[in-house]
Amino acid sequence: MGVVRAGRAVLGGVDTALDDGEFLGLIGPNGAGKTTLLRALAGLERTSSGEILYHGEHLATLPPAARARHCGYHPQAPELHWPLDVASIVALGRLPHGASLERLAAADHEAIHGAIERTGLAALVARRGDTLSGGELARVHMARLLAGEHRVLLADEPIANLDPRYQVEIMNVLREHARRGGAVIVVLHDLAIAARYCDRLVLLDGGRVRAAGSPHEVLAAHELMGAFGVGADYLAMSGIAGALAARE
């Protein structure tokens, strides 16, 4: 798959697959093509070559509503355009299913309640979104994503600028979605978190796949030196994987 923008190839030669139950991490330096790839997978970026298949169906042929039900997208910096309360923000996740804030069926209420419970927001449902902390609002946007009951979740840097507590909470929510049989692709800059949570990593560099495989394979010293210009050691302590990077 490739993407050309203003006559310049910003993404090319990307070929990968995602299985149900899999947690895939996209890593790479700034400008490597991670966001472009995620947007292309969500149908928000026009591809110049290749094809994207969802369970054998071509993405380009899927009606927008069907695509939205199948695949949920979390942008880098989700915005709050209206001072809605938390319950209403989460309810927006049901729009692909034909719901509206004024018309919610029993299935919609069930999905909204489940998303709120999974993200620990029960005590905040009546609060306005513009009164929440950054970490609380991040969980609200994640709950909205979960309320859509998408099979595939695409999350672009969902833990950026969050403190460790909220980083762990968001990553646990995404991992639980995969464990329930869904699939997740997440863009990450923290290599230790990528190593700990992801089943498989794709390292992008210059719009192309530099390495793909297990965290142990992709976080090899020569791969990280080539992509980031830093030396790194892959560590595993008490069964928990991690990556320690240091500039040389």
Write 214-221 long-range contacts (CB < 8 A, 24+).
Answer: 215/25, 215/241, 215/243, 216/241, 218/27, 219/191, 219/194, 219/195, 219/243
High-pLDDT (> 70) share of the chain, %: 95
Helices (H) and strands (E) in the chain, counts: 9, 12
Residues 176/206, Cβ–Cβ less than 8 Å:
no
Counting the structural domains of the chain, the total is 1
pLDDT in tens, 85-117: 999 999 999 999 999 999 999 999 999 999 999
Enter the pTM of the model: 0.91
Q: At what angle do helices 106-118 and 134-147 cross, to 10 degrees?
A: 140
As a whole number of angstroms, the distance between CA 73 and CA 93 comes to 11
CATH of residue 165's domain is: 3.40.50.300
* Selection from 36, 11, 35 nearest residue 187 by Cα: 35
- What domain range includes position 131? 3-246
Position 243 scores a pLDDT of 59
Tens-binned pLDDT, residue by residue, of the chain (248 aa)? 889 888 788 888 888 889 999 999 999 999 999 999 999 999 898 888 888 888 777 887 888 888 888 899 999 888 888 889 999 999 999 999 999 999 999 999 999 999 999 999 999 999 999 999 988 999 999 999 999 999 999 999 999 888 888 899 899 999 999 999 999 999 999 998 999 999 999 999 999 999 999 998 999 889 989 998 887 777 776 666 665 555 55
* Selection from 69, 116, 67, 110 nearest residue 89 by Cα: 116
